[in-house]
Each structure stands twice: as C-alpha cells, then as structure tokens.
Amino acid sequence: MRGVGRAGTFRWAALLAGLTMLAVSGCSGSDGGPAGAAPGGSGGAGTPAAQPTSDVPGLNQLPGQAFYVSDRTNAAQQVAALRSQGRSAEADTLLRIAGQPSSQWLGEQGAQQIAEQVSRRAAEAGRTAVFVAYDIPHRDCGQYSAGGAPDAASYRAWISGVAQALGDRRAWVVLEPDAVAHTLDGCGLKGDLAAERYGLLAFAVQELKKNPNVRVYLDAGNPGWAQDPDAMAGALRKSGIAAADGFAVNVANFYPTDRNVAYGDRLSAALGGKHYVIDTSRSGNGSAGADSWCNPPGRALGEAPTADTGRPGVDAYLWIKNPGESDGECGRGEPRAGQFWLPYALGLAQQAAMR
C-alpha cells in the first residue's frame, strides 16, 4: 500500500519574459546562500543577507530564513492575480503559503534552465534554493505522475545537466520521490529494473555532489507506507546513500512530525546516523489514514520551513510538496496532479490559522 500522493506537470512562471516552461511538482505515494556553510557540513543554508523586495506585493525574503522564497511559484502568481481582482482577503490568506520557501520541482522539460535560473536568483537573494529532481525512468509506476526519462542513458544526461546548471551555487536537492520505495512495494520494479534504478540514483548522487555546496537527500517514503525501515535502509544503501547527505521522509504526505521523527530516527540508526529532512508542507492536522493520500479534506499547513529544527539528526523541515498543488484526479473533480487548486490551497491555510 503506497499511502502517498502523486503529482504531475504544472506550468512554471518563467524567469525570462515571455517564456513558459513545464516543470514537475507534487508527487509521491508525493531557492545559494552566502559564503560559509551552516553547521553540519557543506551545502548548508548559510546566513541570510539583507534581501530585495519581491515583484509580488507582500512577498519578501523572511528575516532569519535560510531558504529562498520565490515569487515565481504558482501560489505567488495566484496572490498577484487575486490582488489584481480586488480579492484582498483571499490574497492575504494565500500569502501563508506563497510567503514561505517551497521547492522547485524539475521534470522532463526545461530542467537545466530552470535549475540555473532559480539557483541564481536564490544566490542573488543570499538564500539557498531547494529542488526536487523527478525524472527517473518508469516514474510513479504509471500512476498520476507517470513519465520520466525514456531510458537510463537519457536520465544520466538529464541529471548531469541539472548538476552542471547549479554551478557552484548552494542548493538542496531531494532526489526522486517514490523511486526507492517503489522497488520495495507491489509496483513491479524488481530484478534488473530495480538494479538499474539503484544504479541511476547512485549516479545522480555522485553527479550532484561534485558541487560541494549541494546537499542531496534521497527520498525514503513515509511512516505509513508498507515497507520495513530495515529493507528501506538496504535499498538506500544500493542507491548511494553513503555519498548523500541523508534522506527525506513524508514527501507529499500528511503524517505529523513526531511520527516522521520516529520513522526517520529508526532509519537513521540503520544507516549509521544519516541525517534527514521532513516534508511538513501539509502535516498540520496529520494524516487522514494511509489510504487518504489524494487531496484529503481537512488538512493544514505544517511547520514552516527551517534549517533550525531543534531535533538532532533532522536537518530541516521543508515544504517539498508545494501546498495547493493537486495530488491528482482523485474522482471528486480535482485538477490533474501538480496543477494549482485555489480552494484546496485556501483550505490548507485556513485550517493552519485555526490550529
């Protein structure tokens, strides 16, 4: 049983005037700082510098926040649209999402250019970009986010292009949500296909880590998925976790932080103390059950992104899944996976305000 949300493609507001590109955001069954790494090793968030204001009214880099707040996200563009329509109350509510750092998903098209542009804008702002690499062959087992690179050679070229695009700028990369877990469930990625996937993930870690300012976290599922953490640890070892900075849990899911920490700590112990990050984007009201991964109602925004979690071994809380982007067409009239869904976004923000 997967128990996780999937995602698909969404239209990215281009950094170059007049250009529209496609990227992937959402997923899973789911913007470099100044010189001087934060404690914990290279690629840290660093110390935020004084920041310019955003093109979107009310959207600025947050004082003390290490990660990049982009004004090119779907939520930020919706804030601007709402203000232009005089819908100020809704815009203010949506700022609870748009005003926080979220991740830039990289998919089949335009990934290299997007990675270069977003990481450069983050560096100019004195912040660290967060990316999700999401183009593994046989992606999402043919579900809502089916696709990915057509073969192993294409994927190696794709991830090398992303690594080159980041240059020497700071970035954190969450690597291929669901990819490891799908070798352990009923997806069908077994034998040679699983071995190929492990090899591609290990290659991706090595390519991205050629830049010492990049941190890499392999996705490791969530505490509601069926696999044994010990089996997950074994699969992560095959996927190059030794060269990575750690792993990510709860991507695009809803489990509360305490439960994610219990799962993450057990997995960390099995991996010799590897650190991890937690997706808290929609965890404010916890999970509605292992089977309720697809746009469940009544959920809320979770802890704000931060590299100061106060928890040993937890490098950051991140909004890896962009709040307000659909998990998929779940049979209730929802948008396709990855498309921004204003009513759901407002609901997440309103529920968080009530907590």
CB within 8 A of 248, min separation 6: which ones? 174, 177, 217, 218, 219, 220, 276, 277, 278, 279, 318, 320
CA 76 to chain centre: 17
Which residue is catalytic, options 71, 140, 185, 279?
140
Which residue is catalytic, options 135, 178, 185, 245?
178
The string of DSSP codes covering 336-349 is PTT-B-HHHHHHHH
CA atoms within 13 A on the CB side of 252: 34
The C-alpha angle 58, 26, 162, rounded to 5 degrees, equals 90
CB within 8 A of 66, min separation 6: which ones? 33, 38, 45, 46, 47, 48, 127, 128, 306, 307
CA dihedral 200, 203, 209, 215 (to 10 degrees): 20
Active-site annotation holds for 178: yes
CA 302 to chain centre: 14
Q: How many CB atoms lie within 10 A of CB 334?
A: 17
From the list 32, 39, 28, 36, the residue with the least C-alpha distance to 5 is 28
Structure tokens at 172: 């954190």
Active-site annotation holds for 327: yes
Which residue is catalytic, options 135, 245, 315, 327?
327
**What are the C-alpha distances in Å from 103 to residues 34, 113, 321?**
19, 16, 7
Q: What span, in angstroms and rounded, lies between the C-alpha atoms of 230 and 271? A: 9
Structure tokens at 176: 């291929």
Catalytic residues: 140, 178, 327
